[in-house]
Structure 1
Amino acid sequence: MFQSDFHRKKNFANPNLFNNSNPSKENGSAMQPTSTDVRPGNQEENKEQEEVHTEEHLLKHPLQNTWTLWYLENDRTKSWEDMQNEIMSFDTVEDFWSLYNHIKPPSDIKIGCDYSLFKKGIRPMWEDAANKKGGRWVITLNRSPKAEVDNLWLDVLLCLIGETFEHSDQVCGAVVNIRNKNNKISIWTANDDNKEAALEIGHKLRDVLRLGRQNLQYQLHRDTMRLSEMINYRDYNSQHCVDDDDDDDDDDDTHN
């Protein structure tokens, strides 16, 4: 699937997300021409070779799950759900790379925006039935270089679609938050009662991504929701002239 196909996506209103550079040839997004002996005596053999090449190029490698990429464009005039844009779903390795190679990396999207990759049918929101009883492993990147954010995000995506975790059934998806101060990458899990699964996912992340202990922490969605409610109450009070010593933080990402 190529760039023009993405622009025709019904619910997608952010064409500026797309990367205008040529797709990478390393990941199978561009085919190399093959030479064929066209002498008359070899026509049957040539036909068989062409059929083999065609089958090889058409062959796709299925993933265990279908995944959906979302883009959140920060707009305070909209609800959180309305800010979420569903970009595309895919269920093969080749379609993943086709999508990945045609969108901007996280470091190039606007401050305050997010990418999310979730199993198809799960929305990147706490309120979704698959998420509300779970939590998330959070990787905090303090003023990290652009390349670090992009590389870690790609590694996380490959962990998800490659079913790297022993308890991959407990993984709902992942989010990257691009903010002024600290960028964050989080992996969302389904059930906080399954502590064994949550710990295994955290240990695997730390090993695969080579993270230090200080960079990775687990948060329950219900605790984060309480914090969000407190912040919303603070904002309500400040708008109604109630004294509040805390300044608004434009890096807030408490909804996800």
Structure 2
Amino acid sequence: MASENKDITVFDDPINYNVTHPFQHKWTLWFDNPGKKANLQSWGQHLKEVVSVDTVEEFWGVYNNVVKVDRLDISSNYHLFKQGVRPEWEDSANANGGKFSIQFPRNRTAEAINDYWLQTMLAMVGEQFHAEDEICGAVVSVRKVFFRIALWIKSSDDMTKIQTIGQQLKDFLKVPPNIAVEFAPHGDGKGQSRMTI
């Protein structure tokens, strides 16, 4: 009887194993494609919650079955945020925070954007940032002449922490030296200024 409850790994049975590898947090994938006619009031109506994952296996199951970034329509966005955090400035987890933004020219990063987005997600779900508790989520945006990756954090008042997270993001993605990583508080609020990492 006790053996029926035993965890079976891929080493025991490559087809019928039951072991999963949980994340520290549950993550929710969102999608929107508001098109050219969207405004700030209607933007939230276009935002759709796709799926939440809390294990390595679920993450790869989703990643391998969604459209890759380079194949999305212009104006589309994927958002991967900790469960319970909406990818909106107004969400209480984001309200006092900001975002790191990296713009990649489409004509030079067409397929590379898929890897940049994957590495961003893996750094988040794998808890690779030193200030992991600061990470709210990330967004990848498809625009006519560029792709943008944005990493959102929950506070924008500790410049040392911001510098560290920004440098780690740069390192994780191996951002070329000619591409800037910029940080801006959400809504440019509270008199805080933008900075380049």
- Normalized against structure 1, the TM-score is what? 0.64
Aligned equivalents of 2:128 and 2:16: distance in 1? 26
Higher RCO by CA contacts (8 Å cutoff, separation 6 or greater): 2
Q: Could you list the per-position Cα deviations for residues 212-256 of structure 1 after superposition, in whole angstroms to 9, with x for gaps in the alignment?
A: 2642111111218x9xxxxxxxxxxxxxxxxxxxxxxxxxxxxxx
Structure 2 unaligned blocks of 5 or more: 1-5, 192-197
- Could you say what the CA RMSD is over the residues aligned between the two structures, in angstroms? 2.5
Aligned equivalents of 1:127 and 1:182: distance in 2? 26
Aligned equivalents of 2:144 and 2:88: distance in 1? 22
2:22 alignment counterpart: 62
1:222 alignment counterpart: 187
Q: Could you list the per-position Cα deviations for residues 153-201 of structure 1 after superposition, in whole angstroms to 9, with x for gaps in the alignment?
A: 0000000000110101000000001000121000001000122222111
Structure 2 residue corresponding to 1:188, chosen from 145, 152, 160: 152
Aligned equivalents of 1:215 and 1:95: distance in 2? 33
CA distance change for structure 1 residues 145 and 55 in 2, over 3 Å: closer, same or farther? Answer: closer
2:119 alignment counterpart: 155
Moved more, 141-150 or 52-61: 52-61
Q: Structure 1 or 2: larger helix share?
A: 1
Specify the code of the residue in structure 2 equivalent to 1:140: Q
1:137 alignment counterpart: 100
Aligned equivalents of 2:100 and 2:126: distance in 1? 18
Structure 1 residue corresponding to 2:49, chosen from 66, 86, 92: 86
Q: Structure 1 or 2: larger strand share?
A: 2
Aligned equivalents of 2:144 and 2:14: distance in 1? 48
CA contact (8 A) 2:104 2:179 kept: no
The Cα shift of 1:109 comes to: 1.0
CA contact (8 A) 1:133 1:222 kept: no
1:45 alignment counterpart: none
Aligned equivalents of 1:99 and 1:214: distance in 2? 29
Q: Secondary structure at the match of 1:200?
A: helix
Aligned equivalents of 2:14 and 2:64: distance in 1? 23
CA distance change for structure 1 residues 198 and 82 in 2, over 3 Å: closer, same or farther? Answer: same
CA contact (8 A) 2:29 2:79 kept: yes
- Normalized against structure 2, the TM-score is what? 0.83
Q: Secondary structure at the match of 2:59?
A: helix
Q: Secondary structure at the match of 2:75?
A: coil
Specify the code of the residue in structure 2 equivalent to 1:190: K
Aligned equivalents of 1:100 and 1:89: distance in 2? 12
Structure 2 residue corresponding to 1:73, chosen from 33, 53, 76: 33
1:26 alignment counterpart: none
CA distance change for structure 1 residues 106 and 54 in 2, over 3 Å: closer, same or farther? Answer: closer
Q: Secondary structure at the match of 1:53?
A: coil
Higher Cα Rg, which structure: 1
Aligned equivalents of 1:81 and 1:160: distance in 2? 24
Aligned equivalents of 2:133 and 2:160: distance in 1? 13
Specify the code of the residue in structure 2 equivalent to 1:60: T
Aligned equivalents of 2:145 and 2:187: distance in 1? 25
Specify the code of the residue in structure 2 equivalent to 1:219: A
